[in-house]
Amino acid sequence: MPRDSISQPIAPPRPPLALTGTVGRGGQNNAADVQAVQDRLVELRAIDAPTIAPERPSGTSPVPESALPLTIGAIESFQRLMAIDANGRVDVSGGTRLELDRAIPVQAPDELAAVAGAVQGISQTIRRGLTLAGAVGATDIGNAAADVRAVQRRLVEVGALAASHTESPAANATGTVPQGRLPATIAALRRFQKDVRFFVAKGSITGAVTPGVVNAGDATAALLDRISVYTMTLGPARLSFRDHVASAATQHDTGVAFQGTASPAAIGVDVYNGVGLDPAQAAALKVVSSFEGNFDAINTYDRANVSAGFIQFAGGRGLPPYMALLKVRQAGKFRELLQKYGIDVEVAGANGAIVGARLVVLDPAGTRVLRATAAETAIRGDKRLTAAMILAGRDRDVHVVQLEAAARGYVAPILNATVTPSGRAGRMRLGDILRSQKGLAAMFDRAIQEGVAAATQRFQRVIQRVVQSSEARPPQPPSPPPTLQLLQRREGDILAELERDLQAAAQVSGNIARARAALQALTEASGQSGAAVAAVLARPELATARQAVTAASAGVDEVVNAGSVGNVDALLKAVKATLVAEERRLALTPPPASAVELANLLAASRRALDRIVGPFATAPAFLERVRRIRRSSLDAGLTVAA
């Protein structure tokens, strides 16, 4: 990669604490070390300078512990503030030393008040709620004018019906509206009911779903009533987003998604090159970003709590290092766009790199500092903070930092990762094997989605499969070890194998999901009052469950890699054993003596499948992304960029 910003060392906001020995209770307490710790505690406002002045070392000799009660007390107080062991000692390395290097200063009351005022300066309007007297939609009974208007208003607010529709009854109209005059409204209800069925299956709402109809008390009305639509205004900027995002990744119903408008495609290749990306890498990263979002995109509905930016820097993983880089590279912008609203990051540095980055949020009520997951949860919960993150993503300097963060966190590490193509070949750099734009995009995508370690493992196993498929079998003499040049020529085969493997894993995932759904239906049927064993065994869901488990068991043999880091062979062996055991259990021979016993067997089988589906659950989404990369307009064929 070119020598640009990515190759330059990063200076942390605060120089690392210089220590030669321990300080505090039971410490060596060298004079220079004691003074350094005291200076840092004052800087962090853990104690004020006049208070600690009597304990300042006057010479160069070690300071007796008995002469440092205020210093030790301040260390303990700081440790409690950081929620670490309050032992009153600072070691040369360890948790207290790290916190002294990265922690933000204790906020003064006027600073907390300024943050609370800035947050309140983001205007927020929330629209939610639906009141119905009768049915609306594809029904001959209902469609009262007031109900139709109420449903149409909510459908427009949640984005299911165009605001320009022409089906609203006149403001003073009463009586009923014939369903023949509501085709767009009915179509919108049908589209919206895809989300309704999702949240019913998730257990968030209950009730019946009648296609194209919403009625008081049903599931469609429940979701229309529950969704909150937020409109946020700050100066000339106006944002709108809603919660209850229906996605396979949804874990937080009150989380939101915002696609953004600041497109990476609008950034010239010279900007990408300026952070260390060559034209081929820039093209690949642009395609990967098209799967994620724009620079001002945000997602707060999945397990990461907060994912922001053009590659969705995820909370707990890519988000803190990105925010730390932004604080270092653009301190003024960071203050104005984020710190002003109480969003901050604690960061230390070592060997020219960011270490220990941690997201921080100052509680708008001014009573506490939230760190790490609690800070991410606060951004998800307070939509004003969500809006601040979005608006920060619209600044051009922020775009450049996002590019550098992606290059540092994902691009360079996966390019430099090494793999072992076979047991008879040495390690090779992954970036030397996959050199086309499509190969680069596949590497970047997997690193961003799975993490560099998991992506490296996936590519190593896929490459080993490609190598094994071409090796001579006895009694022929063994093939020579694969060379780098051979693997480069087979880049297309490697990407094809990557897709094939994900297809196999996706099929396993789909079959397990099909079996689980069938078993759930059978379990519910077995639990019905008066249920008979013979009647339940005659239901078609039993055949579906059996067939799906058998197909999943056979499909595991075709999977090369599963979504985890570690011993994949052992994992696949354990999954296979579970599926074989469930095949035997679902044979139900001899048949259970009672419906209760049958329900228990079926529920146990479903729980067993629940435990093994995790490593395959992401395969369908990953498969779609790899397919899009392979079928994209990136380098026709597998031309290597100059």
- Cβ neighbours of residue 639 under 8 Å, at least 6 residues apart? 436
Would the pLDDT of 472 be above 70? no
How far apart CA 332 and CA 338 sit, in angstroms, is 10
Which secondary structure element, helix H or strand E, spans residue 337, and what is its range? helix 331-337
| Average pLDDT rounded to a whole number, residues 251-271 | 94
| Average pLDDT rounded to a whole number, residues 156-163 | 97
| Average pLDDT rounded to a whole number, residues 480-492 | 92
DSSP letter assigned to residue 210: B
- Give the tens place of pLDDT for each residue, 322-373: 999 999 999 999 999 999 999 999 999 888 888 999 999 998 676 679 999 9
Would the pLDDT of 470 be above 90? no
Confidence at residue 426, expressed as pLDDT on a 0 to 100 scale: 87
Q: Judge whether 336 and 284 are in contact, CB under 8 Å.
A: no
- Grade residue 474 by pLDDT with cuts at 50, 70 and 90: low
Radius of gyration of the chain (CA): 30
Confidence at residue 4, expressed as pLDDT on a 0 to 100 scale: 67
Can you tell me whether residue 427 is helix, strand or coil?
A: coil
Angle at 618 between CA 615 and CA 621, to 5 degrees: 160
Confidence at residue 310, expressed as pLDDT on a 0 to 100 scale: 97
How far apart CA 59 and CA 114 sit, in angstroms, is 42
How far apart CA 546 and CA 556 sit, in angstroms, is 16
Q: Judge whether 623 and 509 are in contact, CB under 8 Å.
A: no
The CA distances from residue 24 to 34, 67, 91, 345, in Å, are 8, 10, 9, 27
How far apart CA 619 and CA 443 sit, in angstroms, is 16
Amino acid (1-letter code) at residue 625: R
Report the DSSP pairing between strands 369-371 and 418-419: unpaired
- Cβ neighbours of residue 12 under 8 Å, at least 6 residues apart? 101, 102, 328, 347, 348, 349, 354
The CA distances from residue 497 to 468, 503, 562, 564, 632, in Å, are 12, 10, 14, 18, 17
- Give the tens place of pLDDT for each residue, 380-433: 999 999 999 999 999 999 999 999 999 999 999 999 999 999 877 789 999 999
Can you tell me whether residue 270 is helix, strand or coil?
A: helix
| Average pLDDT rounded to a whole number, residues 168-180 | 92
Q: How far apart are the first and last CA of the chain?
A: 13
DSSP string over 213-263: EE-TTSHHHHHHHH--EEEEEETTEEEEEEB----TT---TT-BEE--S--
Give me 331's structure tokens: 């301190």
83: exposed, middle or buried (C-beta count within 10 Å: 0-12, 13-18, 19+)? Answer: exposed
Give me 405's structure tokens: 């963060």
Q: Judge whether 364 and 370 are in contact, CB under 8 Å.
A: no
DSSP letter assigned to residue 423: T
Give me 203's structure tokens: 């257990």
- Cβ neighbours of residue 141 under 8 Å, at least 6 residues apart? 134, 135
Mean pLDDT of the chain: 93
Confidence at residue 564, expressed as pLDDT on a 0 to 100 scale: 74
| Widest pairwise Cα distance in the chain | 94
DSSP letter assigned to residue 130: -
- Grade residue 254 by pLDDT with cuts at 50, 70 and 90: very high
- Give the tens place of pLDDT for each residue, 197-235: 999 989 999 999 999 999 999 999 999 999 999 999 999
Q: Judge whether 226 and 198 are in contact, CB under 8 Å.
A: no
13: exposed, middle or buried (C-beta count within 10 Å: 0-12, 13-18, 19+)? Answer: middle
Count CA atoms closer than 13 A to 469's CA, side-chain side: 12
- Give the tens place of pLDDT for each residue, 182-193: 999 999 999 999
DSSP letter assigned to residue 613: S
CA-nearest of 379, 391, 262 to 314 is 379
Peptide bond into 475 cis (omega under 30): yes
The CA distances from residue 207 to 144, 160, 203, 218, in Å, are 22, 20, 10, 5
| Average pLDDT rounded to a whole number, residues 508-532 | 93
- Grade residue 2 by pLDDT with cuts at 50, 70 and 90: very low
- Give the tens place of pLDDT for each residue, 579-626: 999 999 999 999 999 999 999 999 999 999 999 999 999 999 999 999
Percent of the chain with pLDDT over 90: 86
The CA distances from residue 304 to 341, 344, 364, 450, 494, in Å, are 21, 18, 22, 13, 30
Would the pLDDT of 1 be above 50? no
How far apart CA 375 and CA 369 sit, in angstroms, is 8
How far apart CA 627 and CA 623 sit, in angstroms, is 6
- Cβ neighbours of residue 590 under 8 Å, at least 6 residues apart? none
